[in-house]
Amino acid sequence: MRSYTMLCGYFGSGNVGDELILDGTVKRLKSEGANIVILTADPWLHRQKYGVHCFYKYDPLSFISYLLGSKEMIFPGGGIFQDITSKRSLYYYILLIVIARLLLVPVKLQNIGLGPFVNYLNRLITFKILDYCSFLSVRDGYSYEMAGKWMKTKAMLSRDTLYEIKDEYTGIPGKKESGIVIGINLRPWHNVKHAVKILGSVLSEFKGDPKYTFLLIPFAPEDEKILNRLRRYVSGNCFLIKFDPENAFNVLSMCDISIGMRLHFNMIAKILGIRGINLSYERKCEHAIKGADSEGTIRIGRLTEKKFRMMLMSVLNSSSTSGSHS
């Protein structure tokens, strides 16, 4: 008898956004009495954390075994169906869906992001395969338009899973520092070294000013190297924060202003009502947080010292006028 609900996604690699999506989904399914199995890069971590079945994402025998006992496969969110960061991971997730459908296991895609795609063939193959899924909801207008253009399956327009689970993490605010706290997230990307120099040049003007505290907040392990580059420009009240995904809301709640690249960093800042600057590295970063309480969005490739200084001054002036966020 098929009894498992299999959860698939970019889990177990230390990405805060994806771990929050998994955490919220597991808690919801447990409350519904589901028998959960997680495909993950870190089975030990998630087995200890949730007390559910877990297996390594590159273990084909375990995958087939659990899949044969699954009544459904769910992708609960994230932006894994794109080829701009890695076409190999795209092929991997597509293969999971193909095998599931061959074994007559329904596949549900919930609150996901689609694209961007660099290669036309990758886009064509992806949407052909996704058409075999039994349910599809997308988290932003860009994904919705793309699905409407390329797929026969009718997509539902939803929001990112973080909006569904936010109440579980926003009850205990972080300890607020005096003065103005600026939370910053950067991630590896094209032109990010140039962006670090621009941010560093502007932010170094606040060096030694006790009024300002800078929190460098990685949302994935690889962010730390980039943030440490920025740290060289801003000494004094500058701290690299390390925390569990479940504490992400509390850490950001300590901030008056956010400057971020990663989508879920900016999304949490929006949920908390924090004014900030969205350093967009691709279109999903603009569409998924459309309508954010933000002073501006700018593409990394168009960032200049003059533009960043103007945007930062606008945010600082707004913050000092209205006071700290609630």
The domain limits of the chain are: 4-168, 180-322
Write out pLDDT tens, residues 159-174. Answer: 999 988 888 776 555 5
Q: Which band of pLDDT confidence, cut at 50, 70 and 90, is reported for residue 323? A: low
Which pLDDT band, with edges at 50, 70 and 90, does 124 fall under?
A: very high
On the question of pLDDT at 10 being above 60, the answer is: yes
User: Does 288 have pLDDT greater than 90?
Assistant: no
What number of residues does the chain have?
Answer: 326
pLDDT digits (tens, 9 = 90+) for 21-39: 999 999 999 999 999 999 9
The answer to whether 260 and 276 are in contact (CB under 8 A) is yes
DSSP per position, 231-282: HTT--SSEEE----GGGHHHHHTT-SEEEE-SHHHHHHHHHTT-EEEEEESS
Structure-block tokens of residue 144: 């919705």
Integer-rounded Cα radius of gyration of the chain: 20
Spell out where the chain has E strands. 4-7, 35-40, 53-56, 70-75, 78-81, 107-114, 135-138, 156-157, 180-185, 212-216, 238-240, 257-260, 275-280, 296-299
pLDDT value for 291: 45
The answer to whether the CB of 83 falls within 8 A of the CB of 119 is yes
Cα separation, 295 vs 313, in Å, equals 10
Which residue did the predictor score with more confidence, 235 or 279? 279
Which has more confidence, 186 or 289? Answer: 186
Lowest-confidence range among 19-33, 98-112, 311-325? 311-325
**Side chain identity at residue 95, one-letter code:** L
Distance between CA atoms of residues 111 and 143, nearest Å: 10
User: Residue 218, exposed/middle/buried by CB under 10 A (0-12, 13-18, 19+)?
Assistant: buried
Does residue 168 sit in helix, strand or coil?
helix
What per-residue confidence (pLDDT) applies to 286?
Answer: 75
Q: What is the pLDDT of residues 246-258, one digit of tens each?
A: 788 989 999 999 9
Confidence bin at 245 (pLDDT 50/70/90)? confident
Residue 190 has pLDDT above 90, yes or no: no
Ranking 68-72, 105-109, 183-187, 242-246 by mean pLDDT, the lowest is: 242-246
Predicted pLDDT of residue 168? 79
CATH class of the domain whose range is 180-322: alpha beta
Domain 4-168 has CATH 3.40.50.11720: yes
Task: Enter the tokens of residue 294.
Answer: 């933000």
Residue 181 CA to residue 215 CA, distance in Å, equals 7
Secondary structure of 141-162 as H, E, C letters:
HHHHHHHHHHCCCCCEECCCHH
User: pLDDT tens-digit profile of 290-314?
Assistant: 644 445 888 898 999 999 999 999 9
Structure-block tokens of residue 184: 């910053």
Residue 311 tokens, joined: 């945007």
Measured between alpha carbons, how far apart are the two ends of the chain, in Å? Answer: 50
Question: What is the spatial distance between Cα 267 and Cα 286, in angstroms, rounded to a whole number?
Answer: 10
- Asked whether the domain spanning 180-322 has the same topology as the one spanning 4-168, the reply is yes
Q: Return the pLDDT at 325.
A: 47
**pLDDT at 174 (0 to 100):** 55
Res 86 pLDDT > 70: yes
pLDDT at 281: 87
Instruction: Please say whether the beta carbons of 54 and 36 come within 8 A.
Output: no
- Provide the sign of the torsion angle of the four alpha carbons 48, 52, 57, 59, taken in this order: positive
Quick one: 107 exposed, middle or buried, by C-beta within 10 A (0-12, 13-18, 19+)?
A: buried
pLDDT tens-digit map of 126-158:
999 999 999 999 998 889 999 999 999 889 999
Distance CA 151, CA 137 (A): 13
Mean pLDDT, range 241-249, rounded to an integer: 82
How much is the pTM? 0.91
pLDDT, the chain, mean: 90
